[in-house]
Amino acid sequence: KNEVEQSPQNLTAQEGEFITINCSYSVGISALHWLQQHPGGGIVSLFMLSSGKKKHGRLIATINIQEKHSSLHITASHPRDSAVYICAVIRGNLIFGKGTKLSVKP
Amino acid sequence: GAVVSQHPSWVICKSGTSVKIECRSLDFQATTMFWYRQFPKQSLMLMATSNEGSKATYEQGVEKDKFLINHASLTLSTLTVTSAHPEDSSFYICSATLTGIGETQYFGPGTRLLVL
CA A52 vs CA A48, A63, A71: distances in Å: 11, 6, 11
Distance CA A81, CA A71 (A): 16
Give the DSSP letter string of A66-104: TTTEEEEEESS--GGG-EEEEEEEEESEEEE---EEEEE
Please tell me if residue B99 touches chain A, with a CB cutoff of 8 Å: no
Asked whether the predicted pLDDT for residue A104 surpasses 90, the reply is yes
* Higher per-residue pLDDT: A42 or A77: A77
Residues in chain A with CB shorter than 8 Å from the CB of B42 are 98
Q: How confident is the model at residue A1 (pLDDT cuts 50, 70, 90)?
A: low
| Confidence label for A63 from pLDDT (cuts 50, 70 and 90) | very high
Q: Residues 36 to 95 of B: which have CB under 8 A from any A CB?
A: 38, 42-46, 49, 59, 91, 93, 95
Query: How many C-alpha atoms does B46 have within 13 Å on its Cβ side?
Result: 24
Spatial CA neighbour of B92 closest among B27, B30, B48: B48
Q: Is B105 within 8 Å of A40 when comparing Cβ atoms?
A: no
In this prediction, residue A90 carries a pLDDT of: 85
CA distance A12 to chain B (A): 17
Percent of chain A residues past pLDDT 70, beyond the cut:
99
Cα dihedral B98→B100→B105→B110 (10° resolution): 100
Query: What confidence tier does B102 reach under pLDDT thresholds 50, 70, 90?
Result: low
Residue B92 CA to residue B73 CA, distance in Å, equals 20
In this prediction, residue B91 has a pLDDT band, given cuts at 50, 70 and 90, of very high
Average pLDDT over residues A36-50: 88
Considering only A65-79, B3-17, B94-108, which range has the smallest mean pLDDT?
B94-108
pLDDT tier at A91, thresholds 50, 70, 90:
confident
User: Is the predicted pLDDT of residue A69 greater than 80, yes or no?
Assistant: yes
For residue B113, count CB atoms less than 10 angstroms from its CB and return exposed for 0-12, middle for 13-18, buried for 19 or more: buried
The pLDDT of residue B89 is: 95
Query: What pLDDT is stored for residue B30 in this prediction?
Result: 87
Instruction: Look at residue B1 in the predicted model and tell me its pLDDT.
Output: 64
B85, HSE (Cβ side, Cα atoms, 13 Å): 3
B100 in contact with A at a CB cutoff of 8 Å?
no
Task: Give the residue from B99, B95, B92, B93 showing the smallest Cα distance to B107.
Answer: B95
pLDDT tens, position by position, B16-51: 999 999 999 998 888 889 999 998 878 889 999 998
- 8 Å CB contact between B113 and B8: no
